[in-house]
Chain A
Amino acid sequence: MDCWNIFLVGVGGQGVLVASEMLALGFLRAGYDVKKSEVHGMAQRGGAVSSHLRCGPLVHSPLIAEGEADLLIAFESLEALRWLSFLKKDGILLVNRQEIKPTTVTSGRMQYPEDICGQLSSRHRTVHVVDGLALARAAGNPRSINSALLGAASRFLPVPERIWKRVIREAFPDKVVEVNLRAFALGKKASPLAG
């Protein structure tokens, strides 16, 4: 059984922590020991959100050391750039190309970086860009981004699809389960966009 260090980053309100919870439960059901750590409170206030997820035969630290993440799932482009150094050199970056301007930018004080996907590709070997919002809309609800990204991530992870489907069924109220299962499937099938 390998160890998996997965670092999720994004903006409060995007569903980063729900995605992290689903990943954690998936690995738990697949027989892994799991530890997950995050700082709460940014969901309503638009701040940066990050979640450390560690899975393996026996996990001690709940935090991932810098440069030790196998997979960085970034729900937003600026956050992908901000946390790139957490990835191993041969780690996988899965980034949602959405751009959400922080208040430091909307107030006119700072600039949002240009061509983030280009910067990411020049600094890291394995970059998968997805249009999470388009996938979520195609599934039927723009809020199902987290399930779409889960689907995209699932291609790299040693957890069978039936476990992910079960986790999705349990994570959402009945009336939105189908939308999220569709988003997961679309994310899993999505081919990487040109960086």
Chain B
Amino acid sequence: MNSRKAQQLLSGDEAIAYGAYDAGVRIATAYPGTPSTEILETFSQLPDVYAEWCPNEKVAFEVAIGSSLAGARTMVSMKHVGLNVAADPFFTASYVGVGGGLLVVSADDPGMHSSQNEQDNRHYAVAAKIPMLEPSDSQEAYEFARLAVEISETYDTPCLLRITTRVAHSKTVVVRRPPERKGRRPVSGFQKNPPKYVMVPIFARQRHEEVEKRLERLLDYSESTPVNVAERGSRKLGIIASGVAYAYAKEVCPEASFLKIGMSHPLPAAKIRTFARGLAKIVVVEELDPFLEMQIRALGIPVEGKSLFPACGELTPDLVLQGLRRATGSASRRTSSDDRDRRALPPRPPALCPGCPHSATFYTIKKLKLDVMGDIGCYTLSVAPPLETMDACVCMGASIGMAHGMERALRDRTDRRCVAVIGDSTFVHSGITALLNVAYNKGRSTTVIVDNRTTAMTGLQDHPGTGRTLQGDASPAVDFEALGRALGIDSVRTVDPYNLKELEAALQEEIEAPRSSLIIARRPCLLLRKGERPPPRAVDPETCVGCGLCLRIGCPALSGREGGKARIDPLLCNGCPICGQVCKVGAIHEFRNP
């Protein structure tokens, strides 16, 4: 009964938070990561819950395991690459099982709207032998979150809920159902059971046997669950799809027969065979990898899939329509010539904010012509013109290890000068062990922590370096200087990136010195500022010589033409001291109203 009043427009992330809550989850952990961040943020606002940002996804997962073993229903959420970080506990959690239900959310990013790859995390469910649900919109995200908690407890396994950006960040109509139980569930407490929870080989071998038997029981469930549902339509074309791909296919080809897969591991083999009977042609509409397609082919059912749809990038209704047209031999739509016109227009990429301390840091690094082993955060934007000052970025925390490896390989040469640049949140996430390695293995590399006192790119979340918890309570802040020294780094110093001379001198000295160095370039993110904006700067057109040096900072408030005067937009300018120091003729001063 959908009364209009009960309808809410929710994102998939929000719906999952509510679904977990209505299923009795009261503890949740995560590390921020687009498109999953809002799951924990939404959950943390609900009554009587405990939510924490952990330093990284591995820790978040392990905290969730502990909570689950204590009998509490728990959720841990992350983006797709976050599951790489949590993979170690993820795989063995499958053997260990659960106490209270354990909901694991993986939010993948086909099209890489904000990620370094577009890996397809459905493979993880198969590899770890963990059941998986794939919702196709927010109502299903809500329902499947609740279902995942039930499956987890009924079958004694973590349960993976796999979404993508277009489910996580699309808002669709949701009607919530009353929770199974009013108020708080009692937490049963930890029951000692070493053969189940201590994974030494003699016990783990038993547990693996259990896991295989469990998979067979889950297969029976998958065959009968209503979340895998056949929709009768034309016998000429059958479409098998999961997640948002189902929604696109249903939109462009509603007349086809559909097998909508909601539980995509284990796949309901018998149901698929039944569906396939009597259909002239079967197409698997799938984004990224032929995950469903390969398993369906292995059942002996001839299907088309990746030959029709791209392996790269996200699917769109257009791409689905084109693929289906090719499959059925229909004429394809006129290809758009507008693509060429669109590419001729000036792009509008995201940029570092006017006055961002990272601009100062990277401008200075560029001056020194260093090779930058970079990392993930707002500062990754320094790869874009005009700064173009990042040379490698692979995964969270990789900068420090890469710089050390490079330094070791090139130690006998004097021509290459490499530096690791990492943000404060990224450093806490996975930079500490890498920095320890530099000290322990007697490296000579230089690491710069660009410390802006927050996890900025994902929306200004707190972390162990900020001195505040998710709830905003005061908490011990990691002292990076003391930590560097405790790890054994030879030279540890702190500079203000806004002081370009100080930063340049520190970098120059540390790059040349044959010792391990840590430079903490500390200046808070401008978006953290409360209160009045400082007065903007202005360029004195009489003094400006049109050299264009200030334009190389990449500040959105600064504009200029070749050979012409520079200009500062007072509405965008945040009144920082960067361009004033860069200008060699003193043409930049505080804005004065005419």
A, B in one complex: yes
Residues of A within 8 A of B (CB): 11-12, 21, 24-25, 28-29, 31, 33-42, 44-48, 59-68, 78-79, 81-82, 84-85, 101-113
Q: Please tell me if B172 contacts chain A, counting CB pairs below 8 Å.
A: yes
Pick from B338-346, B390-398, B424-432, B498-506 the stretch touching chain A.
B338-346
Q: How far is the CB of A77 from chain B (nearest CB, A)?
A: 11
- A37 CA to B317 CA, complexed, in Å: 13
A113: chain B residues at CB < 8 Å are 345-346
| Binary CB contact string for chain B from 154 to 175 against chain A (1 if under 8 A, 0 otherwise) | 0000000000011001111100
A11: chain B residues at CB < 8 Å are 348
A31: chain B residues at CB < 8 Å are 4
Q: How far is the CB of A6 from chain B (nearest CB, A)?
A: 14
B348, A104: Cβ atoms under 8 Å?
Answer: yes
Q: How far is the CB of B140 from chain A (nearest CB, A)?
A: 12
B342, A82: Cβ atoms under 8 Å?
Answer: yes
Q: Which of B165, B318, B561 contacts A66 (CB 8 A)?
A: B318
Residues of B within 8 A of A (CB): 4, 7, 9, 34-35, 113-114, 137, 165-166, 169-173, 244, 247-248, 250-252, 254, 316-318, 321, 336, 338, 341-342, 345-353, 378, 381, 385-386, 457, 459, 527, 548, 551, 554, 556, 558-562
B350, A45: Cβ atoms under 8 Å?
Answer: yes
B385, A109: Cβ atoms under 8 Å?
Answer: yes
Interface centre among A31, A35, A67, A103 (most CB of B within 10 A): A103
B336, A38: Cβ atoms under 8 Å?
Answer: no
A33: chain B residues at CB < 8 Å are 173
Q: Which of A41, A104, A106 contacts B558 (CB 8 A)?
A: A106
Q: How far is the CB of B103 from chain A (nearest CB, A)?
A: 23
B348: chain A residues at CB < 8 Å are 11, 46-48, 78-79, 82, 102-104
- A25 CA to B172 CA, complexed, in Å: 11
- 16 new A-B contacts at CB < 8 Å, known A36-B9, A61-B251: A35-B170, A35-B171, A37-B171, A41-B350, A61-B247, A62-B137, A62-B166, A65-B318, A65-B321, A82-B348, A103-B348, A103-B554, A104-B385, A106-B551, A106-B560, A110-B346
B171: chain A residues at CB < 8 Å are 21, 24, 34-37
A48: chain B residues at CB < 8 Å are 348
B353: chain A residues at CB < 8 Å are 44-46
B248: chain A residues at CB < 8 Å are 60-61, 63
A68: chain B residues at CB < 8 Å are 317
Q: How far is the CB of B327 from chain A (nearest CB, A)?
A: 18
Query: What would be 29 A-B contacts, judged by CB atoms less than 8 Å apart?
Result: A11-B348, A21-B9, A21-B171, A24-B9, A34-B9, A36-B170, A36-B172, A37-B166, A37-B169, A40-B34, A40-B169, A42-B350, A44-B353, A44-B527, A45-B353, A59-B251, A60-B248, A60-B250, A61-B248, A64-B317, A65-B252, A65-B316, A68-B317, A85-B336, A101-B559, A103-B348, A104-B385, A106-B558, A108-B562
- A64 CA to B34 CA, complexed, in Å: 22
B349: chain A residues at CB < 8 Å are 47, 102-104
B459: chain A residues at CB < 8 Å are 41
- A112 CA to B560 CA, complexed, in Å: 13
Given A36-B171, A40-B34, A103-B351: A67 in contact with B336 (beta carbons within 8 A): yes
- A4 CA to B558 CA, complexed, in Å: 40
- A35 CA to B140 CA, complexed, in Å: 13
Nearest residue in A to B248 (C-beta to C-beta)?
Answer: A61
A60, B336: Cβ atoms under 8 Å?
Answer: no
Report the 3 A-B pairs with minimum CB-CB distance, sorted nearest first: A47-B350, A85-B338, A106-B559
- A47 CA to B350 CA, complexed, in Å: 4
A62, B172: Cβ atoms under 8 Å?
Answer: yes
B556, A103: Cβ atoms under 8 Å?
Answer: yes
B346, A102: Cβ atoms under 8 Å?
Answer: yes
- A66 CA to B338 CA, complexed, in Å: 10
Given A81-B345, A85-B336, A105-B346: A63 in contact with B166 (beta carbons within 8 A): yes
A34: chain B residues at CB < 8 Å are 9, 171-173
- A79 CA to B113 CA, complexed, in Å: 18
A108, B560: Cβ atoms under 8 Å?
Answer: yes
A103: chain B residues at CB < 8 Å are 348-349, 351, 554, 556
Q: How far is the CB of A139 from chain B (nearest CB, A)?
A: 19
Given A24-B171, A40-B34, A103-B556: A60 in contact with B251 (beta carbons within 8 A): yes
Q: Which of B137, B250, B254, B551 contacts A108 (CB 8 A)?
A: B551
Q: How far is the CB of B112 from chain A (nearest CB, A)?
A: 11
Given A62-B137, A65-B321, A108-B551: A46 in contact with B346 (beta carbons within 8 A): no
Q: How far is the CB of B351 from chain A (nearest CB, A)?
A: 5
B252: chain A residues at CB < 8 Å are 61, 65
Nearest residue in B to A33 (C-beta to C-beta)?
Answer: B173
Nearest residue in A to B559 (C-beta to C-beta)?
Answer: A106
Interface centre among A11, A79, A102, A105 (most CB of B within 10 A): A102
- A150 CA to B240 CA, complexed, in Å: 39
- A38 CA to B12 CA, complexed, in Å: 12
Q: How far is the CB of B572 from chain A (nearest CB, A)?
A: 8
A106: chain B residues at CB < 8 Å are 551, 556, 558-560
A112, B336: Cβ atoms under 8 Å?
Answer: no
Nearest residue in B to A38 (C-beta to C-beta)?
Answer: B169
A39, B113: Cβ atoms under 8 Å?
Answer: yes
